[in-house]
Every structure is written in C-alpha cells, then in structure tokens.
C-alpha cells in the first residue's frame, strides 16, 4: 500500500456520529484522520454520549456552530471547515449523509480543490422541498468519490449522469448496529410500566414535521390515538415545536429525553412497532425485524417499503393508527444494504483512488 493518507472527516449530527464510528475504526488502522465536529448537534444528549458509547475518538476540532437558520448555520460551518482544510491540506475530505454539515464540508473542500468522498451517496426522496434533498443532490454533484449504500442509490446517480467514481459499498450503519446489538440489552432504559413487545417507539425530528404545525398536530393526534403505550424520546427541535402548539400528551404517551445510541437500539429491539421520520431508524427497524411506520410522504429507503416492513403514512392520524395496528409482515425480510462490512469497502475505495485522480 502507498503512504498513509490524511483524511478530514466532517460530522455534526447523530446519524453521522454512528457512521463515522464504523469508518474511523477501520481508517485509523492505516491512516491519519482529523475529525471535525461542526457542533450542529451540540448538547450532551445529542452529541457527547454518542462519542462515548461508540468509542469514537474525541473530535480534533469542534466548530460549535450551534443552532441557526439554514443559511447562517451553513455559512458558519463553511468558514470554520475552510480554515481546517487550509491548515491540513488533506488527501480527502469525508462527508456523511444529508445535513448542513455534509453540504458545508463538501463545498468548502470542492472550492479548495480537495477531493470529496460522500458516504451514503445517491439517496433521493425526489422532494426538493426537503432541505436534506438539496444537501444530497449538491453534495453528490461536487463529490469525487460516491460511496453508495444500495443499487437503487447507484441507479439514482446514473439517472443524473453520474456513472464514474461510484462505488457500491453497502450501509455503514449496518456495521455499527451489528456491534451495538451485542451491548444493547444492558442499556435498556428503565421506564416504569413498559412491557417488551407491547409498546410503540416514536421519533420525530425532521423540519417538514416539526416546523409545520398542521403536520405536527396530525402526528401527535395519531400517537395519542394508539391503543398501546408510546415511548417518545423527544428531539430538542420537536420539544420546542410541541411547546409552541401547546400539546399535552395523554397518559399513555411517555415523553422522555433523547437517549444514547445503545439505549435507542435496545428500545427499538423491544418495540412492537416503530413510528419515525428518521431515515436511519427506518433501516435499523428493518434490520432488527420490527415493523416501521414512516411519518413522511416519501422515503429514500424504498426497498423497506417494497418488502412490506415499512409503511408511509405522512402526518395523517387515521393512517398512523391503521398502520400501527397492522399484524407483523408476512413477507420475507431479505438482506438489504450490505453485510456489515461497508466500512472496509469505503476505506478500500479511498485507498484505491489517487489524489485528484478518481477513476470510474
């Protein structure tokens, strides 16, 4: 193998911490990684606990940008990331997913002619009203190496004219989940009255739901109408939105603070059904064999719907209740999104491509 590479990795949100845990573990065996935390998720429950639980190295740089409008937040990240890249002049800038941190890292590197590798490339909801969709599309089109979790993602890129520099590697979240399941049982939160297999687990965080009072009320009405206990770890954005509309949960809907990754895996494994607007949780529900109800009108993870383990309901209360009542899927659950070794393939792809000479 050629000389060790220097990689600047950009993370800023919970799903990115999880993905980085898998790749950093492999990357640091042979290469130098500079880990930059933008501070997009900045409180302990949304950030620090993930670094501790997943054995992620402490960030080398924390930009601490905090919460702000899309433009202000992305702009602050751009300025901070650019300083790091100018100081390090890495062989690669590695970005994950579809957040403002993703786009800021990709743009900062592209402007400096530093190669960009995008983990989770090629995902599309085909809804340009989603800020995440804009981030995905722009990041993919400035990236030099596109690391795709599925053949569907590869096909999406091909439809946009991107057929070179594309690698089908699988999903790095499967790598982390495989390890987390071994430790999850010890992390199950102690919630009085909760019976394994008899509750729904809910998560809501996307702007399309939290920033639209009508959609948020519809989702909360649906949760209130379920005939089972609902455990609802509340994202800070959702908590602010719930307070704004003045919703008071009924007794069977338990609002709890955000939990760490291992506790979340434990809660998912024991749930009867999962209701979420999170892309990552949709996949994890599928891998764990728990039916999922997606609180969105579309999903990037279309295969989970095709195979009958995920139902799209939007924010309609009646559809939410009907989907949550469905019996366990009778359809088989074939392997999707890789075999738990995606991180190794990602690092091999980075090693196999020379600086600014990315081949198809």
For the chain, the domains span 6-171+339-351, 188-325
The predicted pLDDT at position 266 comes to: 94
The predicted pLDDT at position 35 comes to: 96
What confidence tens digit (pLDDT) does each residue in 285-330 have? 999 999 999 999 999 899 999 999 999 999 999 999 999 999 999 8
> Rounded to the nearest 5 degrees, what angle is found at the Cα of 296, between the Cα atoms of 224 and 126?
175
The predicted pLDDT at position 182 comes to: 84
Residues 6+ apart with CB under 8 A from 207: 130, 131, 237
Q: What are phi and psi of 206, to 5 degrees?
A: -70, 145
274 strand-pairing partners: 201, 292
* Residue with token string 């400035």: 142
215 token code pair: 């959609």
232 strand-pairing partners: 255
Q: What are phi and psi of 37, to 5 degrees?
A: -100, 120
**CA 234 from chain center: how many Å?**
16
Answer yes or no: same fold for 6-171+339-351 and 188-325: yes
Q: What are phi and psi of 307, to 5 degrees?
A: -90, 5
Which of the residues in the chain have pLDDT under 70? 1, 41-51, 353-360
Q: Are 40 and 100 in contact (CB under 8 A)?
A: yes
336 token code pair: 């999707």
The predicted pLDDT at position 178 comes to: 87
The predicted pLDDT at position 360 comes to: 39
Q: Are 12 and 77 in contact (CB under 8 A)?
A: yes
Query: What fold characterizes domain 6-171+339-351?
Result: Rossmann fold (3.40.50)
The predicted pLDDT at position 67 comes to: 76
The predicted pLDDT at position 41 comes to: 61
Q: What is the DSSP string of 86-135?
A: HHH--SEEEEETTSHHHHHHHHHHHHTT--EEEETTT---S-TTSHHHHH
Residues 6+ apart with CB under 8 A from 248: none
* Residue with token string 């751009």: 78
d(CA 53, CA 190) in angstroms, rounded, equals 18
The predicted pLDDT at position 70 comes to: 83
d(CA 270, CA 33) in angstroms, rounded, equals 36
Query: At 256, is the secondary structure helix, strand, or coil?
Result: strand
What confidence tens digit (pLDDT) does each residue in 163-174 have? 999 999 999 999
Report the CATH number of the 188-325 domain.
Answer: 3.40.50.2000
Q: Where are the alpha helices (DSSP H) in 201-246?
A: 207-210, 213-225, 236-245
Query: At 4, is the secondary structure helix, strand, or coil?
Result: coil
Kindly report the pTM of this predicted structure.
0.84
- Kindly list the distances between the CA atom of residue 273 and the CA atoms of 46, 188, 268, 278, in Å, as whole numbers in the listed order: 23, 16, 8, 14
Catalytic residue numbers, as ranges: 205
CB atoms within 10 A of CB 214: 8
d(CA 143, CA 134) in angstroms, rounded, equals 14
């Amino acid at each position: 193998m050629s000389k060790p590479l220097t990689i600047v990795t950009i993370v800023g949100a919970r799903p990115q911490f999880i993905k980085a845990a898998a790749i950093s573990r492999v990357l640091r065996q042979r290469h130098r990684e500079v880990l930059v935390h933008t501070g997009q998720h900045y409180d302990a429950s949304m950030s620090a606990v993930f670094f501790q639980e997943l054995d992620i190295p402490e960030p080398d740089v924390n930009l601490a940008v905090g919460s702000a409008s899309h433009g202000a937040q992305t702009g602050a990240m751009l300025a901070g990331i650019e300083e790091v890249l100018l100081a390090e002049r890495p062989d690669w800038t590695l970005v994950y997913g579809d957040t403002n941190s993703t786009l800021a890292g990709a743009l900062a590197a592209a402007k400096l002619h530093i190669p960009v590798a995008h983990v989770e490339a090629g995902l599309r909801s085909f809804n340009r009203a989603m800020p995440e969709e804009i981030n995905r599309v722009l990041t993919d089109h400035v990236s030099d190496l596109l690391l795709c979790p599925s053949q569907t993602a590869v096909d999406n890129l091909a439809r946009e004219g991107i057929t070179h520099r594309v690698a089908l590697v699988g999903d790095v979240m499967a790598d982390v989940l495989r390890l987390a399941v071994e430790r999850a049982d010890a992390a199950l939160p102690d919630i009085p009255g909760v019976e394994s297999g008899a509750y729904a687990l809910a998560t809501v965080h996307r702007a399309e739901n939290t920033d639209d009072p009508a959609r948020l009320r519809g989702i909360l009405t649906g949760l209130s109408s379920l005939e089972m206990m609902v455990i609802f770890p509340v994202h800070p954005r959702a908590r602010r939105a719930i307070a704004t509309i003045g919703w008071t949960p009924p007794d069977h809907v338990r609002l709890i603070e955000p939990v760490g990754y291992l506790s979340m895996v434990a809660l998912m494994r024991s749930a009867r059904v999962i209701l979420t607007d999170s892309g990552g949780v949709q996949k994890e529900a599928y891998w764990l064999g728990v039916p999922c109800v997606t609180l969105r009108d579309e999903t990037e993870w279309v295969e989970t719907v095709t195979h009958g383990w995920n139902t799209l309901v939007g924010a309609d209360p009646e559809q939410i209740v009907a989907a949550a009542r469905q019996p366990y899927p009778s359809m088989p659950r074939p392997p999707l999104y890789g075999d738990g070794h995606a991180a190794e393939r990602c690092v091999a792809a980075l090693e196999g491509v020379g600086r600014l000479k990315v081949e198809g």
